[in-house]
Structure 1
Amino acid sequence: MARDALAADPGASLNSIAKAAGVGAGTLYRHFPSREALVLGVYRKEIDTLVALAPTLLAMHPPLQAFRLWCDRLCEFGRMKYGVADLLHAVISDQDHRETYEPMVQAVRRLMGACEASGDIDPGSDPEDFLTLLGLLWKIPPDDAGQARVKRLLALAFRGMGVKETPE
């Protein structure tokens, strides 16, 4: 609920988020004493979800499709993060970064490895480079024109890894 509220309005207050979730403000404040703590909590939960999603998608789809679906989810998270990026960067600690970054790198490494093994991408792509590129996509406004740009840039990144066809 908080994720959706922040995506709709990056300036949403804790009180408005509590109301939308159908809980009292006190309940929310017990778990998240500040708006910053809530934003960090949403960020960490989203990262955990993305990391867990990689093997699930690989089990359900061919590697390239799984990788694309994973990237779509990451870009969806980026739309929420767009409005709170400055706040998030201000509150994320070195420990938070370490605890979230390496699992993300491993998730991308797993997806890339499966795509390399299937011949869908050329060998040698670097997961950290790819994540850096995707992080730049989060700076694009989440309006219709911005989302069209994100799709084009993501397709460009996949072509850079050797993907021949474009996504449907």
Structure 2
Amino acid sequence: TRYEDDLQTFNYSDVNNPQDGSKNRGFDQWYINLLMLWHQNDPVSLKEIARNNYAYVYQKNRNPYIDHPEYVAMIWTSTLGTDENTAKKDTLKISQNPVRNGALTVSGDNMAKISSVKIISISGQVLQTISEPFKNSNKIILKSTAKGVYFLKTADQTLKFIVE
């Protein structure tokens, strides 16, 4: 989706051009953040789904960001990268999703062993870092979190949640 092999041939010398001139990332971080914000504020619509279906009839390919909006954060938010080959013994789950009361309720095994978690916005901004989050409770109190999509990140797992 990023045409990495062609990026270095693009003219990125213009100061207003959001491309960073590299082969693998392609865009300056401010531009990635802007696109992530647009993505968060403009969820996939029925019209976009219909257009994606119609284009497939002729092109035989689809826009993966329409079919899987969650790919945006997986691809463009480097802080959320995980090693897919690593087996996760202690899988966490968010018990009440979407979150409505400002408290994130988490369940799973060996939660007391988790040394810290991060609450990350869909644009990749770390909003909260909490040490020993499950020492006394399975709840995380969210601070200043507006409606939207967020991630709970531990050392070896990332969970998506929605705040309503």
For the aligned pair, the TM-score class normalised by the smaller chain equals under 0.3
TM-score (norm 2): 0.26
TM-score (norm 1): 0.25
Q: Between Structure 1 and Structure 2, which shows a larger proportion of strand residues?
A: 2
Q: Between Structure 1 and Structure 2, which shows a larger proportion of helix residues?
A: 1
Higher RCO by CA contacts (8 Å cutoff, separation 6 or greater): 1
